[in-house]
Amino acid sequence: MEHNTETYQKMKLFVFGIGGTGARVIKSLTMLLAAGVKAGHATEIIPIMVDPHQNNKDLNRTIQLLDNYQAIHGALQNPQDGFFKTKIKTLEELNKDSNLQRTFAFNMQGVQNERFKQYIEYATLDDANKALAGLLFSDKNLETEMEIGFVGNPNIGSVVLNQFKESDEFAAFASNFEQNDRIFIVSSIFGGTGAAGFPLILKNIRNAQPPTQNHAFLNNAKIGAVTVQPYFGVSPGSGQIDKATFITKTKAALNYYEKNVSGNQSVNALYYIGDEVTRDYNNDPGQNGQQNDAHFIELAAALSIIDFASFSDGELEVKNGRAVKPVYREFGIREDSQNLNFLMLNDVTQQIIKKKLSQYVFAMQYLKRELVKAIATRQPFAMRDAPKIDSSFTSNNLYRNNVVDFNKLFEEWLREMSTNRRSFAPFDLNTLQYAELIAGIKTKKGFGFWSNSKEISADTFNDALNRAEKGKIFPDAMRKLMTILYDGTQLLLNENYDDFK
């Protein structure tokens, strides 16, 4: 959809990522922002990941990625364009005087080393309340270890997540929420944490009351959400999660949302996504860390965040805590293929991500394959003028520990999506030929009727970087390298492909 192109001086977008799916969608969002995809009207993104399972590997991989992103963005000194241009902050960075930890994860209290029955102080209940608890929660529910999450039980999650409105994190979020800011909530609908967390967080925001700061702004906030329906399964086993219940839970949640989310116009934009083509993961209830391969559904869900941030304020009007014209959207592909690339996405999606991701992948492959050689052969872009890009630069901590590590995670993300089911493989990361890097998209023909497609050599790439650097002044080597990589890959794609004009 085309949105109003008006500009916004300052707009923070708070993104709540609930559970493992929430963390993985925020990971995909971070990859898009790193590649230079514009975050709509948002000038700052504040991810807040809500998951009681603090050892969740998907959560920790996303936190590591965000830390690397922040280090690179900080070194680039708030770039106006190019890679890593969007500012990402923690709640702690918005609240310098607070006691919050510097992390992107909500610090959930009372879930470590406790079973659910200890959390609700079951032993202290009288007989009548024990009987009521027995009606609401099974024996297996009561024995659930809280620190591994809600393992597909939204009835547990709805109890534990009620603490969110009393937390320091919620207070910090509220105190920094301004009238022009927006909120987006990412959750799955077929598990425990996401299905419980989405309506609770939404209710706490819409119903905020004194002494919560800025409660009036929260009551009338512009809120979007993506609800992720089943897109993977779990293998049969001894774990507490049973994929046979996924569809039943999804139907029950959708029925609840129809009355309490969309039915009462609590959200301005609600996005639905899921997939019938699925892959089963090991039935791990949480003790081993839970790590799923990246999936195209998570990338598509991340695009819903970009879409929501692109709406104008006028399209997201709220009165008395209700969206005036709520929007409901789904995501589709051109054909029902199990193996996707850019050409199977619709034109709008291609316009948003195709060139930016291609630029970043070209830059990533160049850094891995060619930069050391370019320094050794004293390419003009590296050595012509100070600051020089030399061996001391490639051995410094910022480049080695942040840029290189981020690129490893970026490549891992692409490879995981390419081997998942359904797969998304827009790049051939195994080819040594730059001209074959973008799947399904050929370079231009050379001159002459019988000519072949153009080749892109290391020399072609170096020439583009030399032209991107020539005549410009840079304050330091990092900003020089990232700027000419962005500008140089634009030249490379524009000159060698018809698809990127």
Position with higher pLDDT, 199 vs 89: 89
Mean pLDDT of 372-390: 95
For 119-123, 258-262, 270-274, 370-374, which range has the lowest pLDDT when averaged over its residues?
119-123
CATH number of the domain to which 224 belongs? 3.40.50.1440
For 102-116, 148-162, 300-314, which range has the lowest pLDDT when averaged over its residues?
148-162
Residue labelled with tokens 């406790």: 114
Task: Select from 122, 148, 174 the last residue of a domain.
Answer: 148
Mean pLDDT of 206-234: 89
pLDDT for residue 324: 96
176 three-state secondary structure = coil
Whether residue 177 is found in the same domain as residue 315: yes
Give the pLDDT band of residue 473 (cuts 50, 70, 90): very high
Give the pLDDT band of residue 129 (cuts 50, 70, 90): confident
The torsion defined by the Cα of 407, 409, 413 and 416, in degrees rounded to 10, comes to 120
Q: How many domains are there within the chain?
A: 3
Whether residue 129 is found in the same domain as residue 196: no
Mean pLDDT of 52-71: 86
Cα 19 from Cα 187, distance rounded (Å): 7
Give the pLDDT band of residue 470 (cuts 50, 70, 90): very high
Whether residue 82 is found in the same domain as residue 101: yes
Cα 443 from Cα 437, distance rounded (Å): 10
> Burial letters for 342-368: b for 16+ Cβ neighbours within 10 Å, e otherwise?
bebbeeebbebbbbbbbbbbbbbbbbe
Task: Select from 123, 148, 173 the last residue of a domain.
Answer: 148
pLDDT for residue 291: 78
Whether residue 292 is found in the same domain as residue 392: no
Whether residue 418 is found in the same domain as residue 464: yes
Task: Report yes or no on 337 lying in a domain.
Answer: no
Mean pLDDT of 52-56: 68
| Residue 331: C-alpha distances to residues 189, 258, 296, 397 (Å) | 16, 19, 11, 40
Whether residue 142 is found in the same domain as residue 190: no
For 275-279, 287-291, 479-483, which range has the lowest pLDDT when averaged over its residues?
287-291
Whether residue 358 is found in the same domain as residue 466: yes
Task: Report yes or no on 200 lying in a domain.
Answer: yes
For 17-21, 62-66, 236-240, which range has the lowest pLDDT when averaged over its residues?
236-240
Q: For residues 273 and 330, is the Cβ–Cβ distance under 8 A?
A: yes
Whether residue 412 is found in the same domain as residue 472: yes
pLDDT for residue 238: 44
pLDDT for residue 105: 80
Q: What percent of the chain has pLDDT over 70?
A: 79
Q: Is the pLDDT of residue 394 over 90?
A: yes
Whether residue 136 is found in the same domain as residue 216: no
Whether residue 191 is found in the same domain as residue 97: yes
Whether residue 94 is found in the same domain as residue 122: no
Task: Report yes or no on 295 lying in a domain.
Answer: yes
Give the pLDDT band of residue 193 (cuts 50, 70, 90): low
Give the pLDDT band of residue 100 (cuts 50, 70, 90): confident
For the chain, the average pLDDT equals: 85
Task: Report yes or no on 348 lying in a domain.
Answer: no
Task: Select from 331, 363, 396 the last residue of a domain.
Answer: 331
pTM, full prediction: 0.88
Cα 225 from Cα 223, distance rounded (Å): 7
Whether residue 142 is found in the same domain as residue 159: no
Task: Tell me how far apart the terminal alpha carbons of the chain are, to the nearest angstrom.
Answer: 21
Task: Report yes or no on 338 lying in a domain.
Answer: no
Mean pLDDT of 436-443: 95
Q: Is the pLDDT of residue 311 over 90?
A: yes
For 306-315, 437-446, 450-459, which range has the lowest pLDDT when averaged over its residues?
450-459
Q: Is the pLDDT of residue 150 over 80?
A: no
Give residue 269's domain range: 12-108+152-331
| Residue 412: C-alpha distances to residues 28, 137, 360, 406, 416 (Å) | 12, 40, 14, 10, 6
Task: Report yes or no on 286 lying in a domain.
Answer: yes
The torsion defined by the Cα of 432, 438, 439 and 444, in degrees rounded to 10, comes to -100
Residue 64 backbone dihedrals phi, psi, to 5 degrees:
-60, -45
